[in-house]
Chain A
Amino acid sequence: MNAWQRFRRTPGARLGLAILVGFVLLAAAADLVAGGAHTLIPYGPEEQHPGGVTAVLAPPSRAHWLGTDDRGRDVAARLIHGTRVALLVGPFAVALYVALGLVIGLGATLGRATDFVLGRLVEVGLMFPTLLLLLAIQGVTSSTSLAEVTLAIALTQWPHVARLTRAEALRVAAAPHVEAARAVGAGRARILGVHIFPLAATPALTSAAFGVGQAVLFETALTFLGFGVPAPTASWGELLAQAQASGLQPWLLVPPTVAIALVVMSCNLVGDGVRAALSSGAAA
């Protein structure tokens, strides 16, 4: 069985992938679906009071399928545009911290002293409660932006990848094929790049798919607390914050919750599939 076949055989993996592809298409086409007049949802995400000043916190209706928020903005339009934030922050944060974690994790094979120093660094990183560190980072950078939210998530999550990679790298470094490569005179860089890296990266790549879902949850939590994506930008966390501020109007609470849950669940399903695909041989 090749990797794709193993992925396909995992229950739910294809469903998860399909849902994720759907969200990516929705994010890409957000302006075509909800970008003002003449689109399916005839309001932009930041268009205020399209139906007059009275249309504030209006429940779902024919004009506003998912109602309006406290500034009379169309919730459906904001939900669709919020997909962009989630799908930008999630994958970018994960790509950043997986890269960082891989480099530091592979560093463990460079020698005992390097391993000790990097090991302490990882330990310190693992002990930080993520949200507290995120808040501190957001406090340092007084103005928040999408890039900073992404960076903050990456800075708090790399130790997990580094720890996984370190364990695997040390295991692979002791494998016979590495010894054989050294015996025929392969250089340090070649051994690390060609003989250790591809194998040692497997757990990090498996955790990456799960990581995207977690990153989306972190972004939502940060924005909910008011430290995430800046104000006028439509995001799912902001909708949840609105739900809290408005006395829990269901049309503000349920749509973002369902969207977040769908994305996170799909990421986890795909993660299961990736794990099965990358585990060669007899996989459960």
Chain B
Amino acid sequence: MLASRDGSRVRILARRLLLVPATLVGITLVTFALLHALPGDAATVQAGTSRGASPESLAAMRHDYGLDRPLWSQYAAWLGRSARLDFGASLVDGEPVRDKLARALPVTLALAFLATILAFGVAVPLGAALGYYDRCRWARASSAALYGLYALPGAAVALLVLHAGAPWGARTLLGMLPAAACLALAEMVKLARYQRGAVVGELAADYVVTARAKGHGPRGAVAHALRNALMPTVTLLGAELPALLSASVIVEQVFGLHGIGMMALDAVLTRDVPLLLAITTVAAVATLAGVLAADVAYGLVDPRLRGRSA
């Protein structure tokens, strides 16, 4: 039975991996079509900086960019280049998009990494404690307070933290910590609530009741329950990456961090189509990776699913 469960897990993972390219094509295709519905194209954006471009030079520019070709062939060409990590040049300053991404990505990754550690590090013990002391008045009050925190708009929290003296435009990990804390807040509350619910549920399960009947102390029971209660939290983490990236736009804007979120904001304002396409693609790849990582982590937490054959 163990082997069969293991096998099915591996098969599910393999199927997921097979679908990754299909999902990526879908996401980029939607973005591509969406951005090409923009009024005006790369040629008019470029011409905007050099006034009085003649229709002939516009046509020549369109030919250079391949904009006179049908959309599907433009997409195919873009896909081919992107597969070699060549995302073209920014329409604004002509800098290769790849270089721009290489500069912004570490900032957002550091921010997301810090936020994930903070959210997880606080939420798991907090959720477990709230679940364990569910009958106490202070635990109930804390749960209610979490409810209130969850409802706060991210922009307001970030502005308040900035006002309280957090550094603006930080370049070190330590300096980014307050920004990461703002980013982590909503996720932390969400995870803590799940964790609390899971612990309450597990503590009522038969195996914990049995453990206690056999004389295990209450703390031993929690240790038993925590492991199982951790699973939904781990799965959740992978699925939360898109939300984290979204929230990152606000946090980066408020804290003056030049990450992917700020870059996306600028790219929309300047209609930098190649840059926006690349950002969406990178975000999608990161999200897919997160979901897959959660699948693997799920297997690590649950010993029944731990890869024997894998």
Binding site for B on A (CB under 8 A): 12, 120-121, 123-124, 126-133, 135-140, 142, 213, 217, 220-221, 224-225, 227, 236-237, 240, 243-244, 248, 253, 256-257, 260-265, 268-269
Contacts and interface: CB of A to CB of B under 8 A. Distances in A.
B169 to A, nearest CB: 15
B271 A261 contact: no
A124 B242 CA distance: 12
12 contacts: A129-B242, A129-B243, A132-B245, A132-B264, A221-B155, A225-B250, A253-B160, A257-B153, A260-B151, A264-B150, A264-B152, A269-B147
A139 B246 contact: no
A132 B154 contact: no
A138 B264 CA distance: 12
Interface of B: 19, 22-23, 26-27, 30-31, 34-35, 37-39, 144, 147-148, 150-156, 159-160, 162-163, 239, 241-243, 245-247, 249-250, 253-254, 261, 264-265, 268, 271, 276, 279-280, 283-284, 287-288
Given A140-B37, A257-B156, A127 B147 contact: no
A261 B39 contact: no
Mostly, the A contact residues are helix
Given A139-B38, A224-B250, A132 B283 contact: yes
Contacts of A124: 23, 26-27, 30
A119 to B, nearest CB: 9
Contacts of B268: 135-136, 138-139, 227
Contact of B242 (A128, A248, A262, A268): A128
Contacts of B283: 128-129, 132
B246 A136 contact: no
Contacts of A225: 249-250, 253, 265
Most interface-central of A139, A257, A263 (chain B CB within 10 A): A139
B159 A248 contact: yes
B23 to A, nearest CB: 5
Contacts of A138: 268
Contacts of B144: 12
Contacts of B271: 139
A121 B150 CA distance: 30
Contacts of A137: 34
A248 B163 contact: yes
A221 B23 contact: no
Nearest to A123: B23
A138 B288 CA distance: 25
A256 B242 contact: no
B39 A126 contact: no
Nearest to B16: A123
Contact of B249 (A12, A132, A240, A248): A132
Nearest to B160: A253
A243 B159 contact: yes
B147 to A, nearest CB: 6
A127 B28 CA distance: 11
A227 to B, nearest CB: 7
Q: Which 3 A-B pairs have the closest CB atoms?
A: A131-B246, A264-B151, A124-B26
Contacts of B154: 217, 221
A75 B254 CA distance: 22
A193 B258 CA distance: 51
A178 B12 CA distance: 29
Given A123-B19, A136-B280, A139-B271, A261 B264 contact: no
A136 B156 contact: no
Contacts of A220: 153, 155
Contacts of A123: 19, 23, 26
B153 A127 contact: no
B151 A213 contact: yes
A256 B156 contact: yes
Nearest to A266: B151
